[in-house]
Amino acid sequence: MVVNIVPDFSVTLTHVAGTCPIYDSEAMKKFQELSEKREEAAKTFGIEILSKWSPTRVHKTHWIIKAPSKKAAEDYFKAVGLSIWNEIEVQEIKMV
């Protein structure tokens, strides 16, 4: 029996207040348009979103995802436009 193990990744998205879509109506519009493509893009890149959260008053979001590779994770976040105003850090993790 072959078991395909899909690795887990921690993804941190960080931006400065000046690029936050909350304060920029054009960025928010683009964010909302691209958000509609997330489910389709997740299928395309083999991404499963396990959780995501953001501390209050901080321009940072943390995601835990399953992805076939680090590149697939990076490509997903680019495809859904989150790399437009965020720096994205992807790290493979081991759930404990």
Tens-digit pLDDT profile for residues 22-78: 887 887 888 788 878 899 999 999 999 999 998 877 889 999 999 999 999 999 999
* Residue 34 lies in domain: 8-93
H or E stretch covering 89: strand 87-93
Q: In this structure, are residues 61 and 52 in contact, taking their beta carbons and an 8 Å threshold?
A: yes
**Model confidence band, residue 16 (pLDDT cutoffs 50, 70, 90):** confident
Name the DSSP class of 58.
Answer: S
Mean pLDDT of 81-92: 91
pLDDT at 4: 57
Number of domains into which the chain is organized: 1
The answer to whether residue 1 sits within a structural domain is: no
The answer to whether residue 61 sits within a structural domain is: yes
Query: pTM to 2 decimals?
Result: 0.82
pLDDT at 45: 96
